[in-house]
Amino acid sequence: MRALIQRVSEARVAVSGAVVGEIGPGLLILVCAMRDDPDDVHERLARRVVRLRIFRDEEGRMNRSLLDTGGAALIVSQFTLAADTRSGNRPDFSTAAPPDRGEALYLRFAEAIAREGVPVATGRFGATMQVSLVNDGPVTIWMES
């Protein structure tokens, strides 16, 4: 499972012009299930994400986690994180999980984040979405399980 994590002061996702998920301060997490991911991959990644110390402390250092700050998570599926661009001009997405498995792992990941006590909003799996955000920092972190 791959995740692109952005520390945000706000973020929202819309489908056909209607907002389906939005948060204030927290993390926008773009996530992609990979074809060879084990069944429990979502649990490990969720634990790591909510404990990732990328929020400022009183001294301005990145020393606090999402759990420490009480922020929220907006989780958006994005199979294009599986893109292999090593050859040619068209990305190859064959390493992404098939849609049914990808959706299941995406939903399990969102549930695992929520079980950690983090308020969660989501996009809509498989939909064409418009994502808007205010990246705080900017801070953007790439994670793989």
- Choice among 6, 55, 69, 79 that is catalytic: 79
- Choice among 6, 78, 109, 122 that is catalytic: 78
Q: Is residue 69 among the annotated active site residues?
A: no
Identify the DSSP state of 139: E
Q: Is residue 78 among the annotated active site residues?
A: yes
Instruction: Quote the CA–CA distance of 84 and 98 in Å, as a whole number.
Output: 16
Q: Is residue 79 among the annotated active site residues?
A: yes
Q: What per-residue string of b and e applies to 93-132 under the rule 16 or more CB within 10 Å gives b?
A: eeebbeeeebeebbebbbebbeeeebebbbbbbeeebebe
Strands 72-77 and 26-32: parallel
- Choice among 80, 122, 125, 128 that is catalytic: 80
- What are the residue numbers of the active site? 78-80
